[in-house]
């Protein structure tokens, strides 16, 4: 009959790779049927229970090491547990006489040129280790998960303020100057730089590029929550700026799980500010167009790599953001007589402009508190009920729109005006007669750009060709459909990116990678195998993992 025995070791820490190896070694011993070696968290205890290995009445804390062996007889089970220390000693890869520091401060003294710290300790300790690394002005690759959102926001603010990168938490992949961090693939060097909130996405795109014969300059991970509303793309924005300045990067590819809409708009603005083509693949997020200036949208990971490779082969001079045309700065103000046209424009612009306001209910668009006053980027339907009580519809009477047009043109923060002009029976008999002089007046002081969406035919009483000619004569850019106007606006409107702090130094990216590893020893070994200089910290949970003592230490530090 099978016999199970176990040990609970308090104050003992080994990384998960070492625990997995010890479990395999125990299971391979004679007469041993199964083994489990885990930190005694509730989840791990539940997994042991599913395997029939959880001892009855076990008393263990989450920070305790739990070792369970099931063998054919009691002697074999006892012998297996007695072999644990020998097996651990055999598994240690530390060469005889090699010194391993016990703190980050000691590690930096041992390897002063280390510009990176890899952190893969349990989540409850990870933020503290990452914060210490940032305070020593090092970039951080934070593999650990179970880091609170509050800690992530605070750490990324600290990193940005110091011009450093906080990649993570839960960042699985990066390639810096040819050296892979975490779960990176060995790929050739080249001109495509990658930014990804998706670790396996970065791996897939870098592998596809390699298979196409295209190389990677750098691949920078950001962590899965970076594009959330709370984090706001802090690290992604830094990485875009960094690769935009990197002379070895000619094309940038951005890969992510679905982002928060406002964060996506900020990222598009940051990417559009770069003088390089950017391939965007936000998985599950509907692209606003196939091409927006220097932004090229892909729908899957392989297409992302293929498109980046194709752009790399093109003349960089042909891939500028505006192909020789000037960008438009300032806020957009749209004054519409048709609600459906206004909605179509809102759906087309909401992915790129933020914040975007309207008096229409459209997802991801803010509702105006006061429709008579614009805020930031605004599209207002002047045919809505609040504007037509006791007044003719604006397709007939232009008085309200003309007054609002003058109001918007006088605002120095406005960069462009957008109007719809709808012709046909029952509409104003000659819109250009009133609108053309108003547009000319709006453009007189600072040549304010004006875009007109003109809907009509050559058989309408107003004659669409005549209307277009007269509006264009005063400087309006006229489109015959809303989609073309949206494409023009998306390609030319520029938000000034709000960089979160001093830029990350290019030399940090170009220097030979040297790093301190805190946590999984396999990450350290990978660095050494790639001929990067590295130091492994002999890390242990502070205060032996005792929560009360940790709280006291935190108060003392505070």
Contact indicator for 44, 16 with CB cutoff of 8 Å? no
485 and 338 within one domain: yes
Helix axes 16-27, 521-529, angle to 10 degrees: 100
CA-CA distance, 365 to 538, in Å (whole number)? 51
Picking from 305, 322, 339, the residue at the C-terminal end of a domain is 322
Distances (CA, A) of 459 to 21, 23, 426, 493: 81, 83, 14, 34
Could you give the CA distance from residue 59 to residue 86 in angstroms, rounded to a whole number?
A: 25
DSSP-assigned letter for residue 258? P
Same domain, yes or no: 188 and 284? yes
| Nearest CA among 195, 218, 202, 199 for reference residue 145 | 199
The count of other CB atoms within 10 Å of the CB of residue 167 is: 30
Q: 295 and 367 share a domain?
A: no
Are residue 138 and residue 181 in the same domain, yes or no? Answer: yes
d(CA 240, CA 245): 9
- Distance between CA atoms of 524 and 508, rounded to whole angstroms? 20
Residue-wise burial string across 376-388, b where 16 or more C-beta atoms lie within 10 A, e elsewhere: ebbbbbbbbeebe
Whether residues 334 and 317 fall in one domain = no
How many residues are present in the chain?
558
Contact (CB, 8 A) for 352 and 488: no
Its sign, for the CA torsion 175, 179, 182, 185, is positive
β-pair partners for 194? 219, 253
Q: Tell me which residue has tokens 């240690």.
A: 92
**Domain CATH for 49:** 3.30.70.60
Please tell me whether residues 131 and 226 are part of one structural domain.
yes
pTM score above 0.85: no
Return the closest-CA partner of residue 35 out of 81, 85, 70: 70
Residue 397 phi, psi (nearest 5):
-115, 120
Q: Domain total for the chain?
A: 3
Closest-CA residue to 415 (of 451, 383, 362): 451
Query: Are residues 266 and 160 part of one domain?
Result: yes
Q: Do residue 40 and residue 145 come from a single domain? A: no
Say what the pLDDT of residue 94 is. 46
Give φ, ψ of 441 to 5 degrees: -65, -40
Q: How do the pLDDT tens digits run along the chain, 558 residues long?
A: 788 888 888 867 777 777 888 888 888 899 889 999 888 888 888 888 888 888 888 888 877 889 999 988 988 888 988 888 888 777 655 444 467 899 999 999 999 999 999 999 988 899 999 999 999 999 999 999 989 999 999 999 999 999 999 999 999 999 999 999 999 999 999 999 999 987 899 999 999 999 999 999 999 999 999 999 999 999 999 999 999 999 999 999 999 988 888 888 888 888 988 889 999 999 888 887 788 878 999 999 999 999 999 999 886 545 444 444 567 888 999 999 988 999 999 988 887 888 899 999 988 899 999 999 999 999 999 988 888 887 888 899 889 999 999 999 999 999 999 999 999 999 999 999 999 999 999 998 888 999 999 999 999 999 999 999 999 999 999 999 998 999 888 877 766 666 667 899 999 999 999 999 999 888 999 999 999 999 999 888 875 555 665 565 566 665
CB count in 10 Å sphere of residue 272: 23
- Please give the torsion angle defined by the CA atoms of residues 182, 187, 188 and 191, in that order, rounded to the nearest 10 degrees: -70
Q: Is residue 114 domain-shared with residue 224, that is, in the same domain?
A: yes
- Domain extent, residue 479, equals 328-494
Domain boundary among 91, 114, 135: 91
Position 348 scores a pLDDT of 86
- For 494, list phi and psi in degrees, rounded to 5: -125, 125
Kindly state whether residue 53 falls inside one of the protein's structural domains.
yes
Rounded to the nearest 5°, which phi and psi values hold at 480? -95, 0
Angle at 432 (CA atoms; ends 427, 435), nearest 5 degrees: 100
Q: Can you list the alpha helix ranges (DSSP code H) found in 199-275?
A: 199-211, 234-245, 261-272
């Amino acid at each position: 009959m099978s016999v199970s025995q176990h040990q609970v070791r308090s104050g003992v820490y080994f990384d998960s790779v070492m625990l997995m190896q010890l479990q395999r070694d125990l299971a391979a011993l004679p007469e041993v049927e199964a083994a489990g070696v885990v930190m005694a968290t509730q989840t791990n205890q539940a997994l042991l229970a599913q395997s029939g290995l959880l001892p009855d009445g076990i008393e263990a804390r989450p920070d305790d090491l739990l070792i369970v062996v099931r063998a054919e007889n009691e002697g074999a089970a006892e012998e297996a547990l007695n072999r644990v220390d020998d097996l651990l000693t055999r598994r240690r890869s530390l060469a005889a006489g090699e010194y391993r520091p016990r703190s980050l401060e000691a590690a930096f003294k041992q390897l002063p040129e280390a510009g990176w710290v890899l952190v893969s300790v349990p989540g409850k300790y990870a933020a503290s280790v990452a914060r210490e690394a940032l305070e020593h002005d090092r970039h951080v690759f934070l593999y650990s998960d179970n880091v609170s959102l509050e800690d992530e926001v605070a750490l990324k603010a600290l990193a940005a303020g110091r011009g450093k990168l906080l990649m993570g938490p839960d960042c699985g992949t990066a390639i810096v100057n040819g050296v892979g961090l975490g779960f990176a693939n060995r790929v050739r060097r080249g001109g495509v730089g990658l930014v990804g909130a998706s670790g396996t996405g970065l791996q897939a795109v870098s592998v596809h590029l390699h298979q196409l014969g295209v190389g990677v300059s750098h691949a920078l991970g950001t962590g899965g929550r970076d594009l959330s509303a709370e984090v706001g793309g802090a690290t992604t924005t830094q990485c875009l700026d960094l690769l935009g300045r990197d002379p070895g990067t000619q094309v940038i590819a951005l890969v992510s799980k679905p982002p928060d809409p406002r964060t996506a708009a900020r990222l598009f603005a940051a990417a559009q500010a770069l003088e390089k083509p950017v391939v965007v693949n936000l998985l599950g997020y509907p692209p606003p167009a196939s091409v927006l200036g220097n932004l090229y949208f892909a729908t899957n990971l392989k297409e992302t790599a293929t498109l980046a490779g194709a752009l790399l082969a093109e003349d960089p001079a042909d891939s500028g953001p505006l192909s020789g045309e000037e960008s438009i700065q300032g806020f957009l103000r749209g004054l519409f007589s048709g609600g459906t046209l206004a909605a179509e424009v809102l759906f087309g612009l909401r992915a790129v402009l933020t914040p975007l306001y309207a008096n229409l209910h459209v997802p991801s668009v803010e509702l105006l508190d006061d429709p008579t006053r614009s805020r930031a980027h605004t599209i207002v339907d002047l045919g809505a009920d609040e504007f037509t009580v006791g007044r003719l519809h604006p397709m007939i009477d232009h008085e309200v729109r003309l007054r609002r047009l003058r109001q918007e043109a006088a605002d120095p923060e406005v960069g462009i005006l957008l109007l719809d002009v709808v012709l046909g029976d029952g509409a104003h008999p000659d819109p250009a007669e009133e609108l053309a002089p108003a547009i000319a007046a709006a453009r007189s002081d600072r040549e304010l750009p004006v875009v007109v969406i003109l809907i009509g035919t050559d058989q309408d009483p107003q004659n669409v060709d005549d209307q277009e000619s007269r509006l264009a004569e005063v400087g309006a850019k006229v489109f015959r459909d809303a989609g073309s106007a949206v494409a023009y606006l998306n390609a030319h409107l520029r938000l000034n990116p709000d960089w979160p702090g001093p830029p990350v130094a290019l030399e940090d990216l170009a220097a030979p990678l040297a790093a301190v590893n805190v946590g999984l020893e396999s990450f350290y070994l990978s660095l050494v195998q790639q001929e990067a200089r590295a130091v492994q910290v002999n890390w242990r949970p502070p205060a032996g993992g005792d929560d009360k003592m940790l709280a006291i230490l935190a108060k003392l530090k505070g």
